[in-house]
Amino acid sequence: MGKKVFLATGSILGLSLLLGACTPTAEESTGERAEPTRTVTLLSPMTGEQKQQLERVLAPFTEATGIEVAYEGANAFATVLPVRVESGDPPDVAMFPQPGLLQRFAQAGELVPLDTFMSRTQLEKSYPRQWLELGSVNDRAYGLWYSASVKSLVWYNPQEFQRQGYSIPQTWSEMMQLSEQIVDDGKIPWCLGIDSGETTGWVGTDWIEDIMLRTAGARVYDQWVNHEIPFTHSAVKNAFEEFGEIARNSEYVVGGVVGVLSTPYGDSVNGLFRQPPRCYLHRQGSFIESFFPQDVTLGEDADVFPLPPMSEGEDVPLLVAGDVFAMFNDTPEARALMQYLASPKPHEAWARLGGYLSPHRQVSLDTYPNEVTRRQAELLMNAETIRFDGSDLMPPSVGTGTFWSGVVNYLNGKELDRVLQNIEDSWPEES
């Protein structure tokens, strides 16, 4: 080894330190220093087409204010966000797919309350009270709701209904009679698929929640979600059994129980549009329309009716879910973005793109591009009882853990009492 080599390598080492300092860092790109452009960082689980829509909706904001939105989309959102926050490097603004994680960060004092820069009246003018409460902790609002999805919907093919002479059921028992009639006609009434890879189970828990709202009522539903009644309560057991009447009945569901467990939820709906149809009814949230085959026209080949109440004349309780924005870093840019998101403008822009419902009160029904979406928005606006997806509100070890796997195990043949006891046991002790 000559001296030359040593000198050369020494200078490379020096360079490497220099480069370490020069490589772009996340902080630098937020532009706190001499950067001329102002930016706000945004982390969300949205990828693919949804991400493009989000960017399109945010474009007017950048145009008007000159603030760039540095967007990061991550399918592993639920892992990446807590790691970033724990290590002291959160994004300025994050979009949560459920309020549970938001509430946890709010309780830990990681989030900036909206009332530090928005007035209560402004918030109340924009959002219904129930939605504001879902994004609040200790009476301080943290979350700006962005999209809402209505889950208590049954999709059907109006042309096939007409051809067979089926009519839209007004009560639960009418719906079961219709199912029986379809079986008598030698066909299968329901398409149901719960496979969703790493999130398998939510389709089933949505069903249970919808049935709970109808059989036990909103008050018991709230007690159940808050664990004021145990999971082994007879009302819960009843809801599971009611679901089993459909999902575990091999005459009622395409492919029997194995079909229910193996079919991806996005594929299962396609049975409605096959020739001849594989099934006639499909209970799923408003977002399922993004899975429809391209040649399906909303209103002609696909329509919805609300999942009926138990008996005639009762109001239709709505099960909903949604995406919500919250702010981690109190910068002027982040405030500006939150102000923009609280205004009706981005909500209307997205509504025009279709496949989206807004909980914002100032979005007029005329904004929605078609009749079917408008009907869902109307349901959302007029419903007397709205309840948020319960599994999203339960502690994650239940809501995304044993409740999910419990429904799957129940369908897979495990004894119901043991399933419920297992979920009950997994509820974390008060901390």
Partner 1 sequence: MESFLTKLPVHVTLLVICAIWLLPALGLLITSFRPREAILETGWWTVLQNPFDANFQLENYIQVLTAEGMGQAFLNSLTITVPATIIPIAMAAFAAYALSWMRFAGRQVIFFIVVGLLVVPFQMTFIPLLRAYNFLGISGTFLGLWLAHTGYGMPLGIYLLRNYIGTLPKDLIEAAQVDGASHMTIFSRVILPLSLPAIASFAVFQFLWVWNDLMVALVFLGGTSDVAPVTYRLSNLVGSRGQDWHLLTSGAFISTIVPLIVFFALQRYFIRGILAGSVKG
Partner 2 sequence: MEILGRVFNVFLAIAVGSGGVIALFIALNYAVERLPYKWRSRLLPWVFVGPALLVLGLILVIPTLITIFYSFFGPATETFVGLKNYIFAFTNNDMQVALINNVLWIVLVTGVSVSVGLILAVLMDRVSYEPIAKSVIFTPMAISFVGASVIWRFVYAYRPEGDNQIGLLNAIVTSLGFDPVGWLVERVNFLGANVLGTTALLAIMIWLQTGFCMVLLSAAVKGIPKDMIEAARIDGANEFQIFWRITIPTIRSTMTVVATTIIVLVLKLFDIVWVMTNGNFGTEVVASRMIKEMFKFNNYGRGSAIATILLIAVVPIIIYNIHRFRKQEENQ
Q: Rule CB under 8 A: say whether 16 interacts with partner 2.
A: yes
The residue (of 177 and 290) whose beta carbon lies closer to partner 1 is 290
The residue (of 182 and 337) whose beta carbon lies closer to partner 2 is 182
**Contacting positions for partner 1 (CB under 8 A):** 1, 16, 19-20, 23-29, 45-51, 70, 72-76, 79-80, 83-84, 86-89, 264, 266-267, 270, 287, 290-291, 293-294
Applying CB under 8 A, the span of 64-72, 120-128, 232-240, 393-401 interacting with partner 2 comes to: 393-401
Q: Rule CB under 8 A: say whether 64 interacts with partner 2.
A: no
Residue 363's Cβ-count burial label (10 Å; 0-12, 13-18, 19+) is buried
Closest Cα partner for 324 from 106, 63, 120, 48? 106
Q: Report the partner that residue 167 touches, choosing among partner 2, partner 1, none (CB closer than 5 to 8 A by kind).
A: none
Q: Report the partner that residue 300 touches, choosing among partner 2, partner 1, none (CB closer than 5 to 8 A by kind).
A: none
- Binds partner 2 (CB under 8 A): choice among 4, 23, 139, 275: 23
Q: Report the partner that residue 330 touches, choosing among partner 1, partner 2, none (CB closer than 5 to 8 A by kind).
A: none
Q: State the nearest-atom distance from the C-beta of 135 to partner 1, in Å.
A: 21
Alpha carbons 56 and 58: distance in angstroms, whole number: 5
Amino acid at 261: L
Contacts for 192 with CB less than 8 Å, ≥ 6 apart: 203, 246, 247, 253, 254, 259, 260, 263, 268, 282, 283
Q: State the nearest-atom distance from the C-beta of 20 to partner 2, in Å.
A: 9
By the 8 A CB rule, do 263 and 190 touch?
no
Residue 430's Cβ-count burial label (10 Å; 0-12, 13-18, 19+) is exposed
Residue 200's Cβ-count burial label (10 Å; 0-12, 13-18, 19+) is middle
Q: What is the dihedral of CA 193, 195, 200, 202, to 10 degrees?
A: -20
Enumerate binding residues for partner 2 (CB under 8 A). 1, 5-6, 9-10, 12-13, 15-16, 19, 23, 78-79, 82, 104, 197-201, 254-256, 258-259, 261-263, 278, 395-397, 400-401, 404-405, 408-409, 412-413, 422, 428, 431
